[in-house]
């Protein structure tokens, strides 16, 4: 009987070690190295396969020709639509044959629903194979019936073995392959349980290799951890071409699809969907849904324009400042960076003359949107001052700008496009950095340029 082999792999970065150690030397994470068991046959077969592939690669390499980058024909890989404009936007313009897309999200966010809608619509135009490892075929059929989707032409398979899946895919030759989910797949040569580091990594490697060789679009559904990041080794994110995250609270009907990695488009592109009885419906004008404000102006509320991927998005920033009953006042930011909130309060005290050291400060971006850029600095400070003074800001005011530690207001990228987006939605005033004041003012828009925090406070 062959002796069983073991290996030690970091679940965060995928680094391998010959023995266990408390800290990973590659990513510096503690207690992330876990033991996995490898079958003896897989080791031997892997070594033999490596030797044979090396010999064949050396022999076949002589027949391959080196090409100039300008001579490569890009017409061989045309994009095609997912039938959802918002989905196409996040992907950079549509699906690329041979690409691997990883879709992650919290349980109940709508990952399977979105991909089932895409699969049913694409199945009317091309060959699509939907592989489910978490549900039975009857459960998927019931969901499709409840959503009122066309089910003719969509090929279904309930399988968790990667070898069996690829054997069926080799016969069916689909143009789109959907695997739900990668954590349920397993390779027979590896003895660890499905969902482990080795299984997830090897399963994704097999499926990605198949997609590249056959020019098949591969969708992988991935689970997320408690902190919201994709579960599994970090090497999984390096294998795929695009990593998308579907976000949304269970009590909210809106879902946001954000691109975290994309080799064929812009990163941090945002698509907005609404969860209805008939499934996920794309929102054509996201700014309109995030600006459903009260008719009467309220203290602590201001609108800003954030830049998401390739378009501006108007969102409302709310602040609540109240006298603290604790020795250590609370600083809570939802949708914004909490550390940056503490920095802004220090700048407001030093360069604005407004002290909040004995106040609880709560900051929120309405609609569940996460603002990842610094253009929200000035809007956050304006909302805080408005709540502290209990003085509402004008309802038609839009604010953008980055605040530096010395109190200066720095310009933000694509400032003119943000101002035009605000004017399109009926805003008549804007406080922006001086470097973002447009030469041609939008009709009906009064733009106030500021260079210091004190000037911005005087403007309101």
Q: Please give the tally of structural domains in the chain.
A: 3
Residue 158: how many CB atoms within 10 A of its CB? 15
- Lowest average pLDDT, out of 26-40, 142-156, 225-239, 275-289, goes to 225-239
* Residue where one domain finishes, among candidates 284, 302, 334: 284
Q: For residues 303 and 440, state if they share a domain.
A: yes
- Axis-axis angle for helices 338-352, 377-389 (nearest 10): 70
- Please give the DSSP secondary-structure letter assigned to residue 273: E
Q: For residues 170 and 310, state if they share a domain.
A: no
The confidence score (pLDDT) of residue 63 equals 47
pLDDT surpasses 90 at 212: yes
Question: Each residue of 21-31: pLDDT tens digit?
Answer: 999 888 888 88
Contact call for residues 425 and 314 (beta carbons, < 8 A): yes
Give the tokens for residue 438.
């447009």
Displacement of CA 397 from its chain's centroid (Å):
30
Question: Each residue of 326-339: pLDDT tens digit?
Answer: 889 999 999 999 99
Beta strand segments in 241-350, E = 242-247, 254-262, 270-276, 279-282, 301-308, 311-323, 331-334
pTM: 0.75
Q: For residues 319 and 385, state if they share a domain.
A: yes
Q: For residues 389 and 424, state if they share a domain.
A: yes
Q: For residues 383 and 239, state if they share a domain.
A: no
Q: What does the pLDDT average to over 49-58?
A: 42
Q: For residues 276 and 301, state if they share a domain.
A: no
H or E stretch covering 432: strand 429-433
Q: For residues 81 and 20, state if they share a domain.
A: no
pLDDT surpasses 80 at 2: no
* Residue where one domain finishes, among candidates 284, 316, 349: 284
pLDDT surpasses 60 at 57: no
pLDDT surpasses 90 at 58: no
What percent of the chain is modeled with pLDDT above 90?
58
The confidence score (pLDDT) of residue 308 equals 86
Q: Which domain holds residue 227?
A: 77-284
């Amino acid at each position: 009987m062959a002796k069983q082999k073991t290996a030690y792999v970091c679940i965060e970065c995928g680094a391998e070690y010959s023995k266990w150690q408390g800290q990973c030397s590659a990513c510096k994470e503690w207690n992330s190295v876990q033991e996995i068991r490898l079958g003896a046959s897989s080791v031997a077969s892997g070594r033999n396969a490596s030797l044979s592939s090396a010999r064949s690669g050396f022999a076949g390499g002589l027949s391959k020709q080196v090409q100039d980058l300008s001579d490569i024909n890009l017409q061989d890989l045309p994009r095609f639509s997912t039938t959802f404009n918002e989905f196409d936007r996040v992907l950079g313009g549509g699906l690329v044959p041979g690409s691997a897309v990883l879709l992650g999200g919290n349980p109940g966010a709508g990952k399977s629903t979105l991909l089932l809608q895409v699969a049913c619509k694409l199945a009317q135009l091309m060959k699509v194979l939907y592989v489910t490892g978490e549900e039975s075929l009857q459960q998927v059929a019931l969901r499709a019936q409840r959503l009122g989707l066309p089910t003719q032409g969509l090929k279904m398979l309930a399988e968790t073995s990667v070898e069996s899946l690829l054997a069926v895919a080799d016969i069916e030759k689909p143009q789109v392959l959907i695997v739900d989910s990668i954590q349920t797949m397993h390779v027979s040569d590896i003895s660890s349980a499905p969902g482990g580091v080795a299984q997830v990594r090897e399963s994704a490697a097999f499926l990605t290799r198949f997609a590249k060789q056959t020019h098949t679009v591969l969708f992988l559904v991935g689970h997320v951890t408690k902190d919201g990041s994709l579960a599994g080794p970090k090497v999984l994110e390096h294998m795929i071409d695009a990593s998308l995250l579907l976000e949304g609270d269970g009590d909210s009907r809106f879902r946001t699809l954000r691109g975290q990695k994309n080799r064929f488009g812009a990163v941090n592109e945002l698509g907005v969907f609404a969860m209805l009885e008939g499934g996920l419906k794309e929102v054509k004008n996201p700014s309109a849904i995030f600006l459903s404000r009260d008719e009467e102006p309220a203290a602590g509320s201001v609108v800003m324009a954030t830049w998401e991927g390739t378009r501006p998005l108007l969102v409302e920033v709310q602040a609540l400042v109240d006298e603290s009953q604790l020795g250590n006042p609370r600083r809570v930011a939802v949708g914004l960076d909490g550390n940056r909130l503490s920095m802004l309060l220090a700048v407001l005290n030093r360069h604005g003359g407004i002290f909040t050291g004995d106040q609880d400060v709560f900051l929120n971006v309405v609609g569940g949107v996460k603002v990842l850029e610094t253009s929200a600095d000035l809007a956050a400070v304006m909302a805080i001052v408005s709540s502290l003074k209990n003085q509402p800001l004008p309802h038609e005011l839009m604010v953008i700008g980055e605040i530096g530690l010395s109190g200066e207001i720095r310009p933000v990228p694509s400032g003119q496009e943000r101002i035009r987006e605000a004017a399109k939605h009926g805003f008549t005033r804007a406080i922006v950095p001086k470097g973002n004041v447009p030469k041609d003012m939008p009709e009906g828009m009064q733009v106030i340029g500021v260079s210091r925090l004190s000037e911005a406070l005087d403007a309101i």
